[in-house]
Amino acid sequence: MWAMPTAAALRSNDLTLRVSEVFASIQGEGVTAGTPSVFVRLQGCAVGCAWCDTKYSWSPTGGRETTLASLMAEVTAAGCDNVVVTGGEPLEHPAFAPLVAALKQLGRRVEVETAGTRVPPEAPVDQWNVSLKLAHAGVAESTRLRPEAIERLRDLDAWFKFVVATPADLAEVMELQARYRLPSERILLMPLGMRRQEQETLTPAVVDWCRERGFRFSPRLHILIWGPRRGV
Ligand code: SF4
């Protein structure tokens, strides 16, 4: 059973983390799309998706080093109640659980964006947003689909987001849904593409697939508004 560490324990931890960027924006996708949020992007991801738009976050030694206390000051200054911990792959970061604990101690609501490739540690996360990777990510199935991690996240009532473009992608989603017994009401489909035009072209088909299967549609607001820009 997870227990909230005391403030003294967190302070005495004197933890350092490697952070790619911290910025305030709106949540761009998923069930809380549109929510004012501060994003904490942690360094490090070993998944290696071909179309990844945050390759600068892959190296665990990249970005900048900060302390947990400094990071909490940055989050406080950003002034949003909702914090999105993202990456990289945040579950690969050694300070993930203490970071979530510190954010909760600050009184923040915590969402986590993960590829679902690691079993999550005990941590008081309010909302898990799991973006399982399909074959079009160009990553070996043994790397992108880890049954023990997916099943644990499913049991934590995670939301499962899939970026899709073709009927073959939809068929893959259906296969994964059956394989891991993912509830339809917890699945979201989002159109593939890093440009507004691509999103707009694909959206009608993706909405139809959601209607047919009982999935949710999610826009990708950050792309519609800003395109492939960093830190927005
Ligand atoms: S899991 Fe996320 S951060 Fe890692 S390579 Fe894939 S898209 Fe990029």
- Whether 54 is in the pocket of ligand 1, judged by its Cβ within 6 Å, is yes
Average pLDDT of adjacent 10-residue blocks, the chain of 232 residues: 46 79 96 97 97 94 96 96 97 97 98 98 98 96 98 98 96 98 98 87 96 96 78 70
Cα(129) to centroid of ligand 1, in Å?
13
Cα(80) to centroid of ligand 1, in Å?
25
Q: What is the pLDDT of residue 1?
A: 41
> Helix, strand, coil shares of the chain as percentages rounded to 5?
40, 20, 40
- Whether 87 is in the pocket of ligand 1, judged by its Cβ within 6 Å, is yes
Angle at CA of residue 177, ends 155 and 2, nearest 5°: 15
CA 70 to the chain's CA centroid: 23
Q: Measuring CA to CA, which residue among 208, 202, 207, 190 is closest to residue 28? A: 190
- Whether 70 is in the pocket of ligand 1, judged by its Cβ within 6 Å, is no
Q: What is the pLDDT of residue 194?
A: 78
Q: What is the pLDDT of residue 147?
A: 98
Among the atoms of ligand 1, which is closest to the Cα of residue 53?
A: 8
Q: Which residue has the tokens 């590829």?
A: 115
Q: What is the pLDDT of residue 75?
A: 97
Q: What is the pLDDT of residue 4?
A: 45
- Whether 101 is in the pocket of ligand 1, judged by its Cβ within 6 Å, is no
Tokens representing 157? 């009532």
DSSP string, 7-47: HHHHHHH--EEEEEEEEEEE--SSTTTT-EEEEEEES---S
* SS3 label, residue 217: strand
Please give the model's pTM, rounded to 2 decimal places: 0.92
| Amino acid identity at 58 | W
Cα(45) to centroid of ligand 1, in Å?
6
- Whether 202 is in the pocket of ligand 1, judged by its Cβ within 6 Å, is no
Cα(3) to centroid of ligand 1, in Å?
30
User: Which residue has the CA at smallest separation from atom 3 of ligand 1?
Assistant: 88
Q: What is the pLDDT of residue 5?
A: 46
List the domains of the chain with CATH numbers: 10-226 (3.20.20.70)
Q: What is the pLDDT of residue 2?
A: 41
Residue to mutate, 29, 89, 113, ligand 1, most ligand atoms under 8 Å from C-beta: 89
* SS3 label, residue 130: strand
